[in-house]
Amino acid sequence: MDTGLSGFIKKLPLQAQPLIRLKEISSEVFVISINRNHDFLPGQVVAVTTDFSIPPRLYSICSGNKEKELSILFNVKHDGTLSPKMAQLKKDDTLFVSFPFGAFLGDDKPAWWIAAGTGIAPYRSMLRSGLGNNKTLIHGGRTTDSFYFSDEMTAFLSDRYIRCCSQQSGEGLYNGRLTSWLQNQEDLPLDHLFYLCGSAEMVVEVRDILIGKGVDIDRIMSEIYF
């Protein structure tokens, strides 16, 4: 019997959509683009599958809410059933996509956006939807090629874009884990909102660091990917 989120996802109505574009932006990391048929709020997700025999999965929208196309970011998980198939799609192949939904919503209040890996996706949507003016982005990755959309983020955010690289060093990078960078910050802007997007382990660890540094739990919003 389906219970919880997985049961909810399986019951979502899905609409057939032709693929406009599949672009590999890093090794086995792709952006898929389709026509935007629904309005959405930056930070929301869609459920996606290639075939009704494969359970749909949730992906954060990474495009702006006024763009003609809707895009998602994903990496290939070789032990999975969906992402390897999505990586093989061609133009005009069919995707099945739900309406956008979700409560991890950006707004115009000052905030820190904190992401690991492909958790950058909702923040790109927020940035492209005009919400980047008073934001700081902290992005964690293992290698220098895991900072997706870095040119775009650097151009807009400048020194408010911090890249934390745990396994390689490079110009403009903090050499260490995202959590280490946070631990080293003496004073956090306690009047800001803090958005967290990444694995469950990352979200819990970062949340505990923020609370330990005086951030009110009501100012922390999180989105966990699986």
The position carrying tokens 């590999």 is 24
DSSP assignment of 82-116 = SHHHHTT--TT-EEEEPPPB-S----SS-EEEEEE
pLDDT tens for residues 119-132? Answer: 999 999 999 999 99
Q: Is 1 exposed, middle or buried (0-12, 13-18, 19+ CB in 10 A)?
A: exposed
pLDDT at residue 2 greater than cutoff 50 = no
> What's residue 9's pLDDT?
83
pLDDT at residue 1 greater than cutoff 90 = no
Q: Which domain holds residue 92?
A: 4-97
pLDDT at residue 226 greater than cutoff 70 = no
pLDDT tens for residues 182-217? Answer: 999 999 999 999 999 999 999 999 999 999 999 999
The order of strands in the sheet holding 111-116 is 173-175, 161-165, 135-141, 111-116, 193-198, 220-224
User: Based on the domain organization, do 18 and 90 belong to the same domain?
Assistant: yes
pLDDT-derived band at 7 (thresholds 50, 70, 90) equals confident
Domain-terminating residue out of 59, 75, 97:
97
> What's residue 152's pLDDT?
98
pLDDT tens for residues 29-84? Answer: 999 999 999 999 999 999 999 999 999 999 999 999 999 999 999 999 999 999 99
Q: Assess if residue 105 is contained within a domain.
A: no
Which two three-digit tokens encode residue 1? 């019997």
> What's residue 224's pLDDT?
93
pLDDT > 70: what percent of the chain? 97
Domain-terminating residue out of 63, 97, 131:
97
pLDDT at residue 166 greater than cutoff 60 = yes
pLDDT-derived band at 95 (thresholds 50, 70, 90) equals very high
Q: What is the mean pLDDT of the chain?
A: 95
User: Based on the domain organization, do 93 and 115 belong to the same domain?
Assistant: no
pLDDT at residue 5 greater than cutoff 80 = no
Q: Is 169 exposed, middle or buried (0-12, 13-18, 19+ CB in 10 A)?
A: exposed
Q: Assess if residue 103 is contained within a domain.
A: no
- CATH number for the domain spanning 200: value is 3.40.50.80
Instruction: State the pTM of this model.
Output: 0.95
